[in-house]
Amino acid sequence: MGETYAGVAGDVNAIYWNPAGLAGMERRELTMTHALWLEDITYTNLACALPMLGGTVGAGFNVLNTGDIQKADNTGLRLADKYSMSDMMGLVSYARGWGDLALGANLKYISSQLEEESARSFAADIGALYTGFRPWDRNLGVGFSVQNIGTKAKYVSEEYPMPVMIRAGGALRLFKSLLVASDLNYTEKDADIHAGAEYTRGFGAAILALRGGYKTDTVKELGALSGLTLGFGVKWSDLQFDYAWNSFTDLGITHRISLAIKFGGLDADKDGVPNYLDKCTDTPAKAPVDAAGCPLDTDKDGVADHLDKCHDTPAGTAVDAAGCPLDGDKDGVADYLDTCPGTPIGTAVDAAGCPLDSDKDGVADYLDKCPDTSTSAVVNADGCPLDSDKDGVPDYLDKCPDTSTAAVVDLSGCPVDNDKDGVADYLDECPGTSTGTAVNAAGCPVISTAEVQALDRLSLLAMPGSVTEDLLDAVRNAAGDPACPWEQVDKFCMKLAMEFDYDKAELKGDFAPQLKNIAAFMGANPGARIELQGCTDEHGTDDYNIRLSGARANAVMKHLIDAEGLAAGRLSAKGIGKTSPVADNQTEEGRQRNRRVIAILTFAQEPTEESGAVLPLE
């Protein structure tokens, strides 16, 4: 290859070109080279290298022998005597790699013998090699070395410096079978370019290599053909034979043969099992292996221990790529233990892989919309207690299970009866009946005999046609009001339609039509008089409530006079305070009903203007 080895790594011969190339060796290697040079000159070397001490350690021994040389005098006349000259060199090397970068160095001892005279010197070589370049997705190694840095050799009294050489080059593997390389060699006198290539091809167990190269260092003196080098190599198992040829034109031809052996068993994956025994040659570093070099699989699940995150999987269990038992529904319980294998993702499960049912109602928590149901409750598909009558109270708490859907119920599921009259609110047509008042099936006060007789007498006393249905309803609605004097046969009580806010005397509600009807009745019956009685709820003092209730009665009387045109003398007003509640004062609804005005109707033979009286509000 034209001696282009500055960028080539992984071969023991790198010790002579760039010691950094030793760092790529994976096996121990021994090589011996013998060269037949010009004029009986021979060159022999022996070199070895082995990976150790975190890198590669190497050693070499070289001998150059010129054989017998005919002596001559100063005129060039050959003499009968002969002499010989030889050089010997011993060296040790160390190289180490850091990723794609390798560094190496040689220490050399050199001895020269010229007849009886000798000279000795020490020298060093240093080198670097980088293999991280990937042009065109091809491997490129770039190397650099400096050789023969050392002491001078001294013959008798004259010293000779060592010939320092700087070498830089690269090797590019264009294809798997083709390597091309080139070096630039520089000495203090000259610079030369070397180039070469190697083509390899396998033939069964053997590999044949063909090599060619070209060097420029002899071209000037010996012609272009002197730069050509050719060679071949044969590799079989751990043995390798190489031959190189170089023509020096008229001076002759040189031959070089080499024999190399690699031993110690290559262990490509560094698992402690040589390749020839290793059935799993790509085992990851540090993975524990068996005698065949294959990763251990202690639990026999098909996933090697160094990849297995679940080392104790039971035999026969299906596992994933991490060696863990499959969990098809992702509930945290392996399939071989899961008695509910189709659980939806995200559902909380028990040790058997079944959805939790915290309230033990037969509906899993993830479906249960009522998670705290009593164990005594019958539930629907949503896990909620049944409510057969749809009243909002579950059956197991419902004391009235057949309640109408129109009814408002209490906590026990029974219809609410706010006025405590025994008639549920949803059926009660008179929802504010006073406590203790007798009512009919509609929840309305039962009209007593006296009240019925009063209605009959009113129809007899009033002018024909003047008693309207609205007026009769006002009398009927007053039934049961404790403020009405039903025992007095000459008086008739009417419930007025207005409402009053708390602590107010202003009229509210749809009262105007009713007051208009009353005014019409009064117009048709000149002998009729009305006494208006105002009432309050229980809040406030007795004295204050008398005044407030009087003000409410006065407000009604004022409307009848101002809006309806009744004569003031036919009307009177007074307040009776909180003395006669018609409803329960403990509820807001009851207090609202108690804030009222009633009208007491009487008939006089001769009504006068002076008969009316208005109580002022103090």
In a domain, 283, yes or no: no
At 613, the pLDDT band (50, 70, 90 cuts) reads very low
What is the phi/psi pair of residue 476, to 5°?
-65, -40
pLDDT of residue 226: 85
SS3 557: helix
pLDDT of residue 611: 36
What is the phi/psi pair of residue 154, to 5°?
-120, 120
Which residues are CB-neighbours of 129 under 8 A, at least 6 positions away?
Answer: 7, 9, 18, 20, 21, 23, 24, 101, 102, 103, 104, 141, 142, 143, 144
Cβ atoms within 10 Å of 230's Cβ, excluding its own:
16
Q: What is the mean pLDDT of residues 549-578?
A: 94
Q: How many domains does the chain have?
A: 2
In a domain, 276, yes or no: no
What percentage of the chain carries pLDDT values higher than 90? 39
Residue where one domain finishes, among candidates 171, 196, 221: 196
Q: In this structure, what CATH number is given to the domain that contains residue 570?
A: 3.30.1330.60
pLDDT of residue 266: 64
Least confident of 72-76, 151-155, 259-263, 449-453: 449-453
In a domain, 532, yes or no: yes
In a domain, 607, yes or no: yes
Q: What is the DSSP letter of 429?
A: S
Q: What is the pLDDT of residues 355-404, one digit of tens each?
A: 888 888 888 888 888 888 888 888 888 888 888 888 888 888 888 888 88
Q: For residues 241 and 367, which has the higher predicted lDDT (pLDDT)?
A: 241
What is the phi/psi pair of residue 534, to 5°?
-90, 145
- Inter-helix orientation angle 512-524/469-477, to 10°: 110
Q: What CA–CA distance (Å, rounded) separates 220 from 227?
A: 10
Q: ∠493-498-499 over CA atoms, to 5°?
A: 120
In a domain, 356, yes or no: no
CA within 13 Å, CB half, 254: 19
Q: What is the mean pLDDT of residues 233-249?
A: 91
At 436, the pLDDT band (50, 70, 90 cuts) reads low
Q: What is the mean pLDDT of residues 145-163?
A: 87
Q: What CA–CA distance (Å, rounded) separates 591 from 574?
A: 20
- Please name the residue that has the structure tokens 């204050």: 544
pLDDT of residue 451: 63
Q: What CA–CA distance (Å, rounded) separates 473 from 427?
A: 20
- Report which secondary-structure segment, H or E, holds 196: strand 191-203
What is the phi/psi pair of residue 260, to 5°?
-130, 150
- Please name the residue that has the structure tokens 């099992």: 273
For the chain, the residue count is: 618
Cβ atoms within 10 Å of 338's Cβ, excluding its own:
22
Highest mean pLDDT among 88-102, 211-225, 253-267, 341-355: 88-102
Annotate 473-492 with three-state secondary structure: HHHHHCCCCCCCCCCCCCEE
- Inter-helix orientation angle 449-461/469-477, to 10°: 150
Q: Is the pLDDT of residue 508 over 50?
A: yes
CB 432 within 8 A of CB 589: yes
Q: What is the pLDDT of residues 158-185, one digit of tens each?
A: 888 888 999 999 999 999 899 999 999 9
Q: What CA–CA distance (Å, rounded) separates 80 from 488?
A: 184
- Please name the residue that has the structure tokens 């053909």: 225
pLDDT of residue 449: 63
SS3 427: coil
Average pLDDT value for the chain: 86
Q: How many Å is the Cα radius of gyration of the chain?
A: 63
- For the CA atoms of 355, 356, 360, 363, the dihedral, rounded to the nearest 10 degrees, stands at -40
SS3 374: coil
CB 460 within 8 A of CB 467: no
Q: What CA–CA distance (Å, rounded) separates 438 from 421?
A: 8
pLDDT of residue 276: 63
pLDDT of residue 450: 60
Q: What is the mean pLDDT of residues 229-257?
A: 91
In a domain, 371, yes or no: no
Q: What CA–CA distance (Å, rounded) separates 57 from 52?
A: 6
What is the phi/psi pair of residue 5, to 5°?
-120, 10
> Which long-range contacts link 425-433 to residues 24+ away (Cβ below 8 Å)?
431/589, 432/582, 432/583, 432/589, 432/590, 432/593, 433/480, 433/583
Residue where one domain finishes, among candidates 145, 171, 196: 196
CB 22 within 8 A of CB 58: yes
SS3 155: strand
Q: Which amino acid is it at 376?
A: S
Range of the domain at 74: 12-196
Helices H / strands E in the chain, number of each: 6, 21
In a domain, 299, yes or no: no
pLDDT of residue 231: 94
In a domain, 304, yes or no: no
> Could you tell me the sign of the dihedral formed by the alpha carbons of 476, 477, 480, 484, in that order?
negative
Q: What CA–CA distance (Å, rounded) separates 235 from 203?
A: 10
Residue where one domain finishes, among candidates 152, 176, 196: 196
